[in-house]
Chain A
Amino acid sequence: GEDVEQSLFLSVREGDSSVINCTYTDSSSTYLYWYKQEPGAGLQLLTYIFSNMDMKQDQRLTVLLNKKDKHLSLRIADTQTGDSAIYFCADTYNQGGKLIFGQGTELSVKP
């Protein structure tokens, strides 16, 4: 079946850039998403990229998509302690409302 993989942990210093990586297997992906989950909270949609785009920038967030390698990344510039959370990459399986999630990457930002 379709699969999405992420590394589980990332630790950075405040002010540095964070890069969270994700790989997926579905060659027919339409949208790919990044969700943020703060402790004890639900999932917040951070950004998404359509499959015919290579890059999308939204303030401190940059999403890069390499369709050939099926690789997606989220770069957070000037990472702040408030960015500490779990970040999930998700792939749209079909238009039936199904998302395939990665395991989540726990980002820890040290002052």
Chain B
Amino acid sequence: EAQVTQNPRYLITVTGKKLTVTCSQNMNHEYMSWYRQDPGLGLRQIYYSMNVEVTDKGDVPEGYKVSRKEKRNFPLILESPSPNQTSLYFCASSGDGYEQYFGPGTRLTVT
């Protein structure tokens, strides 16, 4: 089954403790993105990648890092999480750069 998977689905952590949210797709897509969803703001892009080893900042990249060492994986790294990064995070992939497939989401709470 073609899908985008994210882990973990739920995470509660404390300020400053490094964490990684994994994202994997099995559709051989070149494009992958991370978004965060906040009430009243819709989804905002954090980082995106157009291919292996090619990444670029989205609209809200501060406090986040990404890497794209393999085509299928695009982990999101929070080196020192803060409470304002409490949010719902979505990974997405696309084969043509237009139609995007979304993962199920990761709900992160930073206390």
Contacts and interface: CB of A to CB of B under 8 A. Distances in A.
A30 B98 contact: yes
Nearest to A30: B98
Contacts of A94: 97
Count class of interface residues, chain B: 20 to 34
B33 A98 contact: yes
Nearest to A35: B102
Interface stretch (A13-21, A40-48, A56-64, A76-84): A40-48
Nearest to A44: B102
Interface of B is mostly: strand
B98 A95 contact: yes
Given A96-B31, A96-B50, A42 B102 contact: yes
A30 B104 CA distance: 26
A73 interface: no
Interface residues of A, number: 27
Contacts of B96: 95
A104 B44 CA distance: 12
19 contacts: A31-B98, A41-B105, A42-B104, A43-B43, A45-B99, A45-B100, A48-B99, A88-B42, A97-B31, A97-B92, A98-B33, A98-B48, A98-B58, A99-B33, A99-B45, A99-B92, A101-B43, A102-B42, A104-B42
Interface of A: 1, 4, 6, 8, 30-31, 33, 35, 41-45, 48, 88, 90, 92, 94-99, 101-104
Interface of B: 31-33, 35, 40-45, 48-50, 56, 58-59, 90, 92, 94, 96-105
